[in-house]
Amino acid sequence: MTKNRLGFRSAHPVSALLFFVLAVTASTASTHPLTLGICFCSAAVCDIALQGKKAARLLTRVLLPMLALVSAFNGLYNHYGVTVLFRMRSGNNFTLEALVYGLVFAVKACSAVLWLDLTAEALPSDKVIFLFGRFSPRLALVISMVLRFLPLIRRQAGQINAAQKGLGALTDGNLWRRLRAAAHRLSILISWTLERGIDSADSMRARGYGLKGRTQYNRFAFSPLDAALTAICAAAFALYLLSLKGMAAVYNPVVTVPFPNAAGWLSSAALAAALLFPAISEHLTLRRHPPRADHTVKEGFVDPIRNAEFGMRNDGEPTFACHLKRPDRIVSLIL
């Protein structure tokens, strides 16, 4: 499926930054289970809505096991609190407070990871560079250049490996030999990169880099959706800060969770509305612009014989039989 580029992914960098500041602050600074629950659930929902299977895998295979492990470990190694559940063989108490606090801590960490996972999707490099450029255009350029040169260096390293292989340079043998071969390649890469770096510097100077009064081009437009996102995030942030006092829970020596007052309910509702914004906007845009199935098969072909079994033509295009063999593709064809 082609990626949806509308909705939250198109958010203006400033709105997106405000959203993530709110999300990460609320997820890590809160103590009340209601707020933490809202943060965790919306993080999971949003990440899955935008990144699908990848996010679901992260959640079920990494984060949920981590959640259980961290709270268990906290119970095993901390012994504060008054409600003893049982006494361990070492003679220490396993307390409800330590277990619960472990769970709270783990939920905070998992929400933060989920939000960061979503950040990589919704704040691509050009938006990050724009945000940095607001206070340091020079730093923004450096980031952009680093992002430019990383793939270049990776490509050069690949070319060097192939070239060395084609000349029969030793790549196997004992550890010492392999280390020497690696050092040789590295020194090739370094001379090459430094030497051609001179060209890059020339190209920058030739285009007036270093003149006084550099500006930064703003490629982003502020849409009504951005206005809505900014407004709802600002409101939720304000309410969240106001209700912070009334929503303070304590886990030591006893678990004390206050029942939310009116401000607490209101701020929780606003927080939920703000944090679910990515998922809702994703859903709405997908309904308005239904995705088309992409017919290219991305995985798994090695040679023509296997392809024939797999139902793929030799030029890499799937045959119809290929769709019949894979029920999920039939579904995607129909959709």
Residues that bind other proteins (CB under 8 A): 125-126, 129, 137, 141, 144-145, 147-148, 151-152, 155-156, 159-160, 162-168, 170, 172, 184-185, 187-188, 191-192, 195-197, 199-200, 202-219, 297-305, 314-316
Cα atoms found within 13 Å of the Cα of residue 94, Cβ hemisphere only? 12
Specify the residue, 87 or 214, whose C-beta has the smaller distance to other proteins: 214
Specify the residue, 89 or 195, whose C-beta has the smaller distance to other proteins: 195
Closest contact distance (angstroms) between CB of 81 and other proteins is 51
Please identify which residue in the block is written with the tokens 């829970």: 249
**Cis before 224 (ω within 30):** no
Strand locations in the chain (E) = 84-87, 93-95
Specify the residue, 89 or 298, whose C-beta has the smaller distance to other proteins: 298
Query: What distance in Å separates the CA atoms of residue 188 and residue 195, rounded to the nearest whole number?
Result: 11
Specify the residue, 262 or 302, whose C-beta has the smaller distance to other proteins: 302
147: which 2 tokens?
């992002």
Number of Cβ atoms within 10 Å of the Cβ of 77: 10
Helix pair 277-288, 224-242: axis angle to 10 deg: 160
286: which 2 tokens?
């997908």
Nearest to 180 by CA among 171, 190, 188, 168: 171
Ordered DSSP codes for 106-118: HHHHHHHHHHHHH
Closest contact distance (angstroms) between CB of 221 and other proteins is 11
Strand partners, 312: 318
Contacts of 85 (CB under 8 A, 6+ apart): 93, 94, 95, 96, 99
Specify the residue, 94 or 301, whose C-beta has the smaller distance to other proteins: 301
Closest contact distance (angstroms) between CB of 134 and other proteins is 13
Closest contact distance (angstroms) between CB of 327 and other proteins is 21
Query: What distance in Å separates the CA atoms of residue 280 and residue 24, rounded to the nearest whole number?
Result: 19
141: which 2 tokens?
């350029």
Specify the residue, 20 or 301, whose C-beta has the smaller distance to other proteins: 301
Query: What distance in Å separates the CA atoms of residue 124 and residue 8, rounded to the nearest whole number?
Result: 12
Number of Cβ atoms within 10 Å of the Cβ of 74: 19
Closest contact distance (angstroms) between CB of 62 and other proteins is 26
Specify the residue, 91 or 166, whose C-beta has the smaller distance to other proteins: 166
Closest contact distance (angstroms) between CB of 201 and other proteins is 9
Specify the residue, 69 or 162, whose C-beta has the smaller distance to other proteins: 162
Closest contact distance (angstroms) between CB of 281 and other proteins is 21
Closest contact distance (angstroms) between CB of 161 and other proteins is 9
